[in-house]
Amino acid sequence: MKINTLSNFLLISGITLSTCRKIIVHPSDLTKSDIENIQKIELCDNDDDCGPYSYCGSYILESNVFGKDTGNMKYTKGIVNKYCIYKDFLCPEDENAKCHYIDEIYKYSYDDDFYPIINTCLKEQVEEGTCKTKKCESDQDCYSGTCYSNSCITISPIYKCEQFDLSKRRDNQYDLIGRKEDINKRFSCSKIDNMKCNNNSECTKYCKNGYCSWEIQGDSYFQVLRNSLKLLREVVFSTAIVLLLIAVLVIIFYFKEKRDKKKREQANKKQDKKKQANKKQDKKKQAKNKKD
């Protein structure tokens, strides 16, 4: 994977692409291990109270601090406080490689001008038609660093590190997919969608059919689309075959009817000629009888 080369690209792109593209992924000084080891809860009044890659946000109850070191910012007992929220990080599998943080606006916007493309497939998925990303034109368009058949692909897993919502966490609590949450951890670093997996604990959401997916059951969007198109093709093909058979039968019936009609006409003509011949013979017999 070419994520290490992405940092240089991002630094350059800030100048060369700023007028036409919005860069949403930026280099950080943290590795995945650094992020997973963050434990301190920083209470704050505004963004200036927070360190790099974080901002002052969600409220947190004093009872949810779990007795952790809150740094210089002291919470007020019985009062709802705000705390520093870290941005989401994307990390390569290499433990020594630096992660990139994602602009928060990416979570709430569908702007197609945002680059690089974060969604990533495996090469085999693209070839099988089960995965597709926003269209890429070059390797630089992709966070993974590789554009293949107009989709971003990766060989090594990509991880997304997200901070737990401390305002909702409780001891002995389980997440939506049945994983017990460790209140001593601030971050969850899991594989993004379409990465290979063995169980749910490896993924941001679910492990389905050996790949990470945000859906707990049923087929993915692309699988549904692929199956729908396949079904549509089968319906169109079957309909075309039926119509062709009907057309062939109509043509056969038409020519058969035309041939039978011609045969009937010919038979009728023969009968008419035979009748006329019989009449002539009868007239001759009658004339002969009169002479006699």
* 157 — pLDDT class (breaks 50, 70, 90): very high
pLDDT tens, residue by residue, 80-117:
678 888 999 999 999 899 999 988 666 555 556 778 89
87 CB contacts (<8 Å, ≥6 apart)? 53, 54, 55, 101, 102, 103, 104
What value does the mean pLDDT take over residues 160-180? 63
Over 177-231, what HEC string results? CCCECCCCCCEEEEECCCCECCCHHHECCEEECCEEECCCCCCCHHHHHHHHHHH
**Beta partners for 211?**
196, 208
- Most confident by average pLDDT, 189-193, 258-262, 275-279, 282-286: 189-193
214-235: average pLDDT = 66
Output 269 or 208, whichever has higher pLDDT: 208
pLDDT at 15: 32
Over the stretch 59-89, which tens digit does the pLDDT of each residue have?
665 555 544 444 444 445 555 678 888 999 9
Give the rounded percent of residues in the chain with a pLDDT score beyond 90.
30
Please give the angle made by the CA atoms of 242, 246 and 249, to the nearest 5 degrees: 140
Q: How far apart are CA 22 and CA 41, in angstroms?
A: 31
Across 54-68, 117-131, 266-280, least confident range: 54-68
How many alpha carbons lie under 13 Å from residue 52 in its C-beta half-sphere? 9
List the single range of 120-134, 178-192, 250-264 with lowest mean pLDDT.
178-192
d(CA 220, CA 16): 36
For residue 269, count CB atoms less than 10 angstroms from its CB and return exposed for 0-12, middle for 13-18, buried for 19 or more.
exposed
Q: Which residue has the higher pLDDT, 103 or 283?
A: 103
